[in-house]
Structure 1
Amino acid sequence: MRRNANRGATRRVRAALGTVIALCAVTAVLPGAASAETTAGVRGAGDRETSVQKISLAADGTPADGDSGDASITPDGRHVVFASAADNLTPDRPQEGDEVYLRDQRADETRRIGHYDPIEPPVISGDGAYLGYPVPWMRDVKIYLWQVRTGAIGGLDCWPGCGQLSLNGDGHHAVYVVTPRPPASHQRVEFQDVFTGAKETIAEFGHRRPSRPSLSGDSRHVAYQDGEAGDVFVRDRTDGITHGPIEGPSKEAALVQLSEDGGKVVYRSGPDTHVHDVRSGTAQLVPNARGVAIDPTGRYLLYAPNDPADPGQPSLALRDLSTGTDEIVSRQPASAGVDAVSAHGRDVVFTSAADDIVPDDTNGTSDVFVRRFH
């Protein structure tokens, strides 16, 4: 699943664009020596070497001149999609406002995808082949998809008022929420085959609170929440059975994310985070922690301690659910959303306005960073 429903703490310094979207692709190949500001490798708490890299940089390697954030990373760690209000990340910047960028870590290049009215963060398919995000259209919202290899632009047939997008592993399937305009007071979670347009209703609610659907890589499982009742469910599209509330009848829960393999569902309840095993029906407790994301395999949990003001606590940490050990992602104030962790916990993408994560960070804006565990 590729989704990012939490906007985090990204600051906006430019007004949102109008309702017309003009998509394009401009590639900036960054100079090898200046393409990334990186710290030297050190040892993490889990005994893996770690380094951190700032990726929201201008084409010539100079700092971005505007805030960046809302980032997601693919399971292989190669592609990062993020939004930025900077004017200098690629050579061609036709107008002011937030835009979506795609960073190819292997090719060492950044592409400008198109204008971005920040309704919800952009999402990317598991293989990095497709990305999409909702945009204002007339009085409603549409979802646009962009094919990375060809630059082809398309849209989902989900008019009107669709959002909360999640893509499967190859971008051929999507789930989203359709919310008609008021006075309507209902919504539905819908699954769609991107190429055939075939649709399937996953759930319907008589309210408009967030459903936060999350789609597994093979498109079999859809996790979602009843935002009014505080319940989390998992729909098995193969056998047609909906499981839940998975947190049980005695407490409320909020969905965080379904793992790419469909085996684990992360949800928060009270001050704690729970990692539910879809196959066994059991859950692992991570106490006093705000779960943020899970890696595609379901082994590594990105979380924020509930008391980040404590000088001894990091703002983001990565928990190995098999061993119970933690690795520090950022000690400085930072935020992240779902789809922030690559497979096996190797990479974590996050946003921070701190100026001491990498050397010579003097632009005074929020930037996108990738923490790498070797």
Structure 2
Amino acid sequence: MSDSGAGVERISVAPDGTQGDGDSVGATITTDGRRIAFSSWAKNLTDGYPMTYEKVFVRDQRTSQTMRMSTSAPPIQRPVISGDGQYIAHWGLIQRDTKTFLSQVKSEGTIGIYCPGLSCSQPSLSADARYIAQVATSNRPPSRQRIEVRDWRANTTETIAEYEHTASARPSISGDGRFVAYQDGQAEDIFVWDRTDGTSSGPIEGPSKAATLVQFSEDGSKVVYLSGSDTYVHDEAAGTDQLVPNVRGVAIDPTGRYLLYAPHDTSGPSLTLRDLETGTDEIVSNQPASAGTDAVSAGGRDVVFHSTADDMVPGDTNGKSDVFVRRFY
């Protein structure tokens, strides 16, 4: 992890520090903040490779090196990096189906493509990437989908839930791979599955309101979800919810203490980090910016995001979306 102190740093840069010559988006960060994964159209981030489509990259903050991951299909959405920084997952299009790709950092090729005959999407990784929670969907009648956990080392698949619909559904797995928070998009409910005893609890938001899953904290203590115009942080042990009103929760740090959110009021900051214990806020970006799950390192030290703003760092003249990290200490 870089020790350059607090501030904003551009991550999507060439080996000599030159700004990227294409759009870079969708950053995720490891638990310790050392490695950052993102996707990009830029051709100059690594040496000697002609870009024919969007690729996945991993930036090592300790060595200041950027690695192009060898992936078999362009990412459809942002990649996910495991908490230990050893693996990345993304989903891409193969003919008319989407598939999940898992790749080891500093290694060539993919480890596996899962759910044959179905479309796989929305991968979520345990801290060591042994367990991959994902959605498997049939694009052919009858419409159906299931939420599953794949143990790629043991070559086993566990079905968590099955639905006779294809409304939005996605999982988020705890760091140890034991618990899976998942969303039934049709019922607008969120549940938590315990893989040890095979039981499900929920809906965690209660019976009277609709909910959308954001993220399960890596330590398995908190589930962030949206309901109406508000964000809630559900404490798994206590069974209680902490309300953060009139904001859209984006991510939570691995310890469950720091919430990254986007205020609905667009006249102020676009991204803010809240300490849920003290109720204090830190501004991540005053300029328009976007982030997703797994965007905060442990203890709220680092937040990754992307933005087209040209004044995040000096000398930003490429007119592209760049990936940045905000370091708080």
TM-score by length of 1: 0.84
Partner secondary structure for residue 69 of structure 1: strand
Matched residue, 1:64: 20
1:161 aligns to 2:116 (yes or no): no
CA contact (8 A) 2:254 2:297 kept: yes
Matched residue, 2:81: 124
2:98 paired residue among 128, 133, 141: 141
Tell me the amino acid that sits aligned with residue 240 of structure 1.
G
Matched residue, 1:298: 256
1:258 aligns to 2:216 (yes or no): yes
| Equivalence map 1:1-374=2 (5 Å) | 50-114=6-70, 116-159=73-116, 160-308=118-266, 310=267, 313-374=268-329
1:152 Cα deviation from its structure 2 partner: 4.9
* Cα separation, 1, equivalents of 2:153 and 2:132: 10
Tell me the amino acid that sits aligned with residue 288 of structure 1.
N
Deviation by residue 1:94-133 (Cα, 9 ceiling, x = unmatched):
3322111010111110011135523222111110111111
Runs of 5+ consecutive residues of structure 1 not aligned to the other structure: 1-35, 42-49
Deviation by residue 1:310-340 (Cα, 9 ceiling, x = unmatched):
2xx2000000000000000000000000000
* Cα separation, 2, equivalents of 1:290 and 1:138: 35
Tell me the amino acid that sits aligned with residue 180 of structure 1.
S
* Cα separation, 1, equivalents of 2:88 and 2:32: 15
* Cα separation, 1, equivalents of 2:51 and 2:43: 8
Tell me the amino acid that sits aligned with residue 94 of structure 2.
W
Greater mean deviation of Cα atoms: 273-282 or 115-124? 115-124
Tell me the amino acid that sits aligned with residue 358 of structure 1.
V
1:184 Cα deviation from its structure 2 partner: 2.5
1:368 Cα deviation from its structure 2 partner: 0.2
CA contact (8 A) 2:214 2:293 kept: yes
Partner secondary structure for residue 299 of structure 2: helix
Tell me the amino acid that sits aligned with residue 15 of structure 2.
A
* Cα separation, 2, equivalents of 1:166 and 1:95: 27
CA contact (8 A) 2:70 2:103 kept: no
Number of residues of Structure 1 aligned to a counterpart in Structure 2:
326
CA contact (8 A) 1:305 1:314 kept: yes
Partner secondary structure for residue 219 of structure 1: coil
1:153 Cα deviation from its structure 2 partner: 2.3
* Cα separation, 2, equivalents of 1:95 and 1:70: 18
* Cα separation, 2, equivalents of 1:207 and 1:328: 40
* Cα separation, 2, equivalents of 1:95 and 1:359: 27
Partner secondary structure for residue 92 of structure 1: coil
CA contact (8 A) 2:304 2:326 kept: yes
* Cα separation, 2, equivalents of 1:148 and 1:58: 18
Runs of 5+ consecutive residues of structure 2 not aligned to the other structure: none
CA contact (8 A) 1:157 1:197 kept: no
RMSD: 1.6
Partner secondary structure for residue 179 of structure 1: strand
* Cα separation, 2, equivalents of 1:307 and 1:247: 25
Report 1 or 2 for greater relative contact order, CA contacts < 8 Å, sequence distance ≥ 6. Answer: 1
CA separation of 1:150/1:100 partners in 2, compared to 1, >3 Å: closer, same or farther? closer
